[in-house]
Amino acid sequence: MKIAALALIIFAVVAPSVALSDYQQGVLDGLGRGWKMAQMYDQAQTGDPTAFNQVVPDYNAWIESIFGKNESLMLSTIANKAQTQAYSVSKTYTPVHAIDESWNQTKQSLLPDSDAYGLINGHPAEIYYSIGPAINDF
């Protein structure tokens, strides 16, 4: 009987202290949502941002319900990245014919051609075409 009474007293004292306060529950919810959004953001940076963009309005509505309309706390969606294209340098252009605006077939070079060793003014052609004549001033 004494053990049951002692257990009842301990349970009555310990049980309310185990429950989280509103503040603690809010912090726990915020950390959970923030962690979820961080994981989704990382996934969006490496691949398709569609899943992240779908949950951003819900997250922003939750933030607005707590802090009000504070733009500095709101997340924005991520635009799909454009597919990058390989970098290429074209040394020639074809001018437009003045009379009928057709492409003239004459090739005119804006950049010098490389010598037999692949050099232009003593520099590799790839570097010369990338940086240009500015490297001669160094």
- Between 101 and 48, whose confidence is greater? 48
In a domain, 1, yes or no: no
Quickly state the pLDDT bin for 8 (edges 50, 70, 90).
Answer: low
Tell me the two tokens of residue 72.
Answer: 């500095």
> Global pTM?
0.45
What mean pLDDT value characterizes the chain? Answer: 75
Same domain? 108 vs 71: no
Position 87 in a domain: no
Q: Which tens digit of pLDDT belongs to each residue from 47-84?
A: 778 888 898 999 899 889 888 888 888 888 888 765 55
- Asked whether the CA dihedral 18, 24, 28, 31 is positive or negative, the reply is negative
Query: Are 47 and 25 found together in one domain?
Result: yes
Question: What local confidence, expressed as pLDDT, does residue 73 receive?
Answer: 82
Q: How many domains does the chain have?
A: 2
138 Cα distance to chain centroid: 36
7 falls within a domain: no
Residues 79-97 pLDDT 10s: 876 555 666 666 665 556 6
Mapped to the 3 state alphabet, what secondary structure does the chain carry? CHHHHHHHHHHHHHHHHHCCCHHHHHHHHHHHHHHHHHHHHHHHHHCCCHHHHHHHHHHHHHHHHHHCCCHHHCCCCCCCCCCCCCCCCCCEECCECCCCCCECCCCEECCCCCCCCCEECCEEHHHHHHHHHHHHHC
Do 68 and 107 lie in one domain? The reply is: no
Q: What is the mean pLDDT of residues 8-19?
A: 62
pLDDT at 36 over 80: yes
Asked whether residue 41 is assigned to any structural domain, the reply reads yes
Say if residue 98 is in the same domain as residue 131: yes
Q: Is residue 33 part of a domain?
A: yes
Instruction: Clarify whether residues 72 and 113 are in a common domain.
Output: no
Residue 14 has pLDDT above 60, yes or no: no
Which band of pLDDT confidence, cut at 50, 70 and 90, is reported for residue 125?
Answer: confident
Co-location of 32 and 78 in the same domain? yes
